[in-house]
Structure 1
Amino acid sequence: MSNPTDFSIDGGGTAPLNSDSEEVTLWQGSPSPWMHGPSWGFSLLSCLLVVGVFWCGWLYLVARCTRYTVTSKRIIVESGVLNKKRNQIELYRIRDVSAVQMWWMRPLGLGSAEIFSTDITTPQLRLAAIPNHIAVMSKIRNAVERIRMDYGIRAVDFQSV
């Protein structure tokens, strides 16, 4: 029979409980971090939302700081939030123009015009997420034909057979 002054944990031996005996650690630990699980989840979600808001703000700035200009002689693209970059393609260098409309742009009435040229620095250019992209593509194509006729330029494709 056990002595009422003895204490046992998980059947792991007994330690006498009297004032003359040496103190023995029976168990030591700390709470699980999961005790704050809902708070951690809320904090993580808050951080993600804050980062997400800043990221969306940055993407908005990138879009607002990009300007496409189609003139009767060239296409000019100016872009950059902090640093500015200006690129241009002469219309007579354009070989082909095509339209692309992603599934998520369709309900918004947006699309992209892809331009393929013989320009060395910009052989391919995308006018992304513009309204009436088909009409813009047609204007570019008509302007290319007009400038080629004005300058007497003919497009010749050399392809290997």
Structure 2
Amino acid sequence: MNEEETVIWQGSPSQWTNFGAYVFWLVVTAAIVAAYFFTAAGPLVLLALAVPVLALFIRWLQTRYHVYEITTQRIRTRAGILSRHTTELELYRVRDYALVEPFWLRLVGRGHLVLETADRSNEQVVLRAVPRVAWLKDQVRTHTERMRQARGVRDLEINSP
């Protein structure tokens, strides 16, 4: 195994995954602004705007700081704003691939890559709302096969009668 590890792709989930939350908090913001104009509570009502603004900002940050990195040997996932959690999956452990392309994500050229693995602690890895998902699946598959050959790994399936 003399191959040097290089990065194939790195990215974050699309902010489109937060569309429902964004719409909800924008409706709440509109309700707070309407309450300001139609009630006698005055400027104190505008203090309530801090809640949706903060919620939207935190949601945006959580998605922005969820990073996928696919190299020629592994998949690394880092998530967290203040505290960070990193997981790694060796490519030779990937058993199966699936593409999930919901209509609303296909409209913006995104999809989910679902990987079934032989790793007991991480049996399924989902790369959510990533661009060019079919190309990414092909890259993972190609490098998975290379890593299996380099390590001499074979996947054994046993069917019981």
Q: Same fold (TM over 0.5)?
A: yes
Equivalences for residues 122-141 of structure 1 within 5 A: 122-141=122-141
Deviation string 1:47-81 (CA, Å, 9 cap, x unpaired) is: 78653332221121011111111111111001111
1:72 and 1:157 map into 2 onto residues whose CA distance is 25
Equivalent residue number for residue 95 of structure 2: 95
Equivalent residue number for residue 104 of structure 2: 104
Deviation string 1:30-61 (CA, Å, 9 cap, x unpaired) is: xxxxxxx9328x99x96786533322211210
Q: TM-score, normalised by structure 1?
A: 0.68
Equivalent residue number for residue 65 of structure 2: 65
1:114 positional shift: 0.6
Q: TM-score, normalised by structure 2?
A: 0.68
Greater RCO (Cα-Cα under 8 Å, separation 6 or more): 2
Larger radius of gyration: 1
Equivalences for residues 30-45 of structure 1 within 5 A: 38-39=38-39
- Unaligned segments of structure 2, at least 5 residues: 1-36
Pick the structure with more helix per residue. Answer: 2
Equivalences for residues 1-161 of structure 1 within 5 A: 38-39=38-39, 50-161=50-161
The DSSP-based 3-state class of the residue aligned with 1:52 is: helix
Amino acid at match of 1:80: G
- Unaligned segments of structure 1, at least 5 residues: 1-36
- Percent identity between matched residues is 28
1:101 and 1:47 map into 2 onto residues whose CA distance is 40
Larger deviation: 102-111 or 78-87?
Answer: 102-111
1:153 and 1:75 map into 2 onto residues whose CA distance is 18
1:158 positional shift: 1.8
How many pairs were matched up? 125
